[in-house]
Amino acid sequence: MPCGPFGYEVRYWPDVGYRFAHGDAAGILVPEESIANLLAAWVHLEGRVLSPQLRATLEGPVSAGDGAAGLAQWTAARSSFGPVPDIDPYQPLGEDANSSWQQILNCGDDAFGAAARTLADREKRHGRSSAELRRWLEAQDRVFAACGGRAPLPDEAEPGWPATERADRAYQRAAARFYNRDFEGAIAAFQEIAGDASSPWRDLAPYLAARAWIRRSSIAGCPEEECLARAGELLRAQATTARDPSRRAAAAGLFEYVELRLDPEERARGLAALLTDSRPPDGFVAPSLPQALVDYRWLLHYARRRGDFDDLTAWVELIHHPPAAGAAEAARRWREHGGLPWLAAALALGPSREAGDAPGGDVLAAAAAVPDDSPAAIALGYHRARWLSVAGDRAGARQVLDHLLEREDLTAGDRAQARDLRSGVAADLDELVRHGLMVPTERGFVIDHGPLYGDDTVGGPWWLGPAALALADRTLPVRRLAELAEDERLPPPLRRHLATAGWVRAVLLHDDPAARRLAKGAAALAPEVARDFADWEAARGGARDFAAAWLLLHNPGLRPALREAGGRRDGDGELDGMRDNWWCSGAAGSAYSSRSDPAPPPPWPAPERESALRELAALGAVPPAPRWLGEVVLPWARAHRADPRVPEALHLLVRSTRYGCPDVGYRNVSHAAFALLHERYPANQWAEKTPYWFD
């Protein structure tokens, strides 16, 4: 488990969901696009229209039951007979419940619903106060006790019990074996029940034996070819011979799952056709559309690869899980077979220099020839502009994007992406501001640049989008950054951020004129630190360096790299407990986008570009903040014992080594600050607040 760095990633357009199902054109495809979007896009790119049924399936989230509804039904029925024992439908996947954080749904809605119906029937048959019903309830409580972990089996039936009660007890013991993961015992017990002509459970037992074979394959290590084949035999028979139509349907659905596991390529062909309103292969047993989408998603994430998928599934797989050479593979398939889907994929996944793509080649020429009324025009126009940008043809990219942005059928997300790219190829600072300002939509928690967790709505303020922010951060010299911070077209929160980040950058670069200019703007926009900026401005020499360190120690949110909107939930003056404080090695150039396109040359004059490159190189050599702060604070503290700020500064310096970016070089800084603080100021409140130093 990583211990940092932690942060928040911001989205400026929807990159998940089902946006392609809403319209009649394929919008901007992106690598790792959702499967539902890709299925809808394929239909659009083939020039067809989604049926209402397929549109509804792709638009709506598909999820399996979580046991909650069935458990509520059972709890309501059971509660009239006394207190209901606690039941956890989930069981740890591993054998050790204390060490396994992965869980499986062990008892689903159908189990609890069947128990509630059986309880009502047995109450009617035996009577509410009967010994038979009391014994049934006690046994069923034991069965459900095994849902969340191992539990004792219900006692065996006694010889003198009625035949129905003995049959119920045999079924309850078989179910408890299943939930206890005694799959071999459960299979044998269910097969015995199936052979008992007098048991009311004989028709259901073969289906449950098949489920035990499947569960044995899934979590107990039984080879799929053996266990799933045995399950398939039972299910095939149940699907045709079970007297209850609902059981035949359940057996057919589970048989489809077995086929999906045993022959994923063939099953994928049928599911892909079904999910794009095409004709499935002859003999294909079609599930409902929602179930087909569940199966197809499972197949793309977990199925074993034993051969080539059909053309559609290969296309979905390539974009959803793009390999390093994905663009080259898509271009190869387009050259061999043609078609808008593969042309769009080749553009969306490239250009990648590692894969040998060459912007301006036949792929780009073919995209340019696609007319505006084509269902692929939006996707191809956007990605053609991106290719032109990477090739250095900023003017060509601007022309394509300006034409694309004239369309009235762009979704809000596609328009935001196009505007963002347009700001990245801006001809000057004015265009960067005009096209780059946008409102972020979502933010999620990120650990070590991993997946997004806990999405929430951000909404305002207006901020620079990823491309504009990256262009300003990586290519503007600090003096032009000061000019941008003074642009009154920008909202005050953004101007404040540009001014404070620019000031930190100028301090680290020892650019005193730029730092003074930026400090003036920062003080006006951040009144809570205006006094600190004034103290810094009034100081000279080493005193000014210490004043800068003092201001930074009290404002852990300050750093030289520009942040996305809402990229740090705490204010600049608040310490982030997850180490999103100050800066790490290489003080600028944070990642602003999941794409890794090579950066096009910036539009600024050559002297400014060269100045920005020198500054970035210098910032790249800056040590992490705690070490930089130590290099300033420790010499000043040793030489100015009477400075009343020193004890607090030493305390904050030690704190920075705990909450700053992880680095092996903090030991000396942390110990030196701790030792100096306790040696010179042992009775000071800041020494009392600093009981530790950090290795």
In three-state form (DSSP H/G/I as H, E/B as E, the rest C), the secondary structure along 496-511 is HHHHHHHHHHHHHCCC
Is residue 148 domain-shared with residue 244, that is, in the same domain? yes
Is residue 438 domain-shared with residue 495, that is, in the same domain? no
Return the structure tokens found at 96.
């050790």
Is residue 182 domain-shared with residue 245, that is, in the same domain? yes
Is residue 320 domain-shared with residue 359, that is, in the same domain? yes
19 touches 422 (CB < 8 A): no
Is residue 98 included in any domain, yes or no?
Answer: yes
484 touches 590 (CB < 8 A): no
**What's 407's DSSP letter?**
-
* Distance between CA atoms of residues 416 and 360, nearest Å: 25
Is residue 516 included in any domain, yes or no?
Answer: yes
Is residue 452 domain-shared with residue 492, that is, in the same domain? no
Q: Which of 227, 258, 288 is the last residue of a domain?
A: 288
Location of structure tokens 């209850």? 244
Indicate the Cα dihedral angle 342, 343, 345, 347, nearest 10°. Answer: 160
The pLDDT score that the predictor gives to residue 3 is 43
What is the extent of the structural domain holding 198? 68-288
* Distance between CA atoms of residues 257 and 285, nearest Å: 11
Is residue 294 included in any domain, yes or no?
Answer: no
What's phi and psi for 384, nearest 5 deg?
-65, -40
Is residue 99 domain-shared with residue 36, that is, in the same domain? no
How many other C-beta atoms lie within 10 A of the C-beta of residue 573? Answer: 13
Is residue 300 included in any domain, yes or no?
Answer: no
Is residue 299 included in any domain, yes or no?
Answer: no
Burial of 652 (0-12, 13-18, 19+ CB in 10 A): buried
Is residue 38 domain-shared with residue 92, that is, in the same domain? no
The pLDDT score that the predictor gives to residue 67 is 60
Q: What is the pLDDT of residues 314-344, one digit of tens each?
A: 999 999 888 888 888 899 999 999 999 999 9
Is residue 678 included in any domain, yes or no?
Answer: yes
The pLDDT score that the predictor gives to residue 102 is 76
The pLDDT score that the predictor gives to residue 22 is 61
Is residue 528 included in any domain, yes or no?
Answer: yes
pTM above 0.75, yes or no: yes
Please name every residue paired with 103 in a beta bridge, in sequence order, or none if there are none.
92
Q: Which of 226, 256, 288 is the last residue of a domain?
A: 288
What's phi and psi for 445, nearest 5 deg?
-80, 135
Is residue 490 domain-shared with residue 437, that is, in the same domain? no
The pLDDT score that the predictor gives to residue 292 is 87
Burial of 671 (0-12, 13-18, 19+ CB in 10 A): middle
Return the structure tokens found at 294.
């569940």
Is residue 482 included in any domain, yes or no?
Answer: yes
Counting as low any pLDDT under 50, the low residues of the chain are 1-6, 16-18, 97, 99, 306, 353-357, 359-360, 446-455, 589-596
Location of structure tokens 């680095």? 663
For the chain, how long is the longest CA-to-CA vector?
Answer: 100
Burial of 665 (0-12, 13-18, 19+ CB in 10 A): middle
Overall number of domains in the chain: 3
Q: Which of 457, 478, 497 is the last residue of a domain?
A: 457
The pLDDT score that the predictor gives to residue 9 is 64
8 touches 569 (CB < 8 A): yes
CA-wise closest residue to 324 among 348, 363, 354, 357: 354
Q: Helix/strand/coil (H, E, C) string of 445-475?
A: EEECCCCCEEEEECCCCCEECHHHHHHHHHH
Is residue 280 domain-shared with residue 417, that is, in the same domain? no
Is residue 188 domain-shared with residue 228, that is, in the same domain? yes
Is residue 489 domain-shared with residue 586, that is, in the same domain? yes
The pLDDT score that the predictor gives to residue 600 is 65
Is residue 489 domain-shared with residue 596, that is, in the same domain? yes
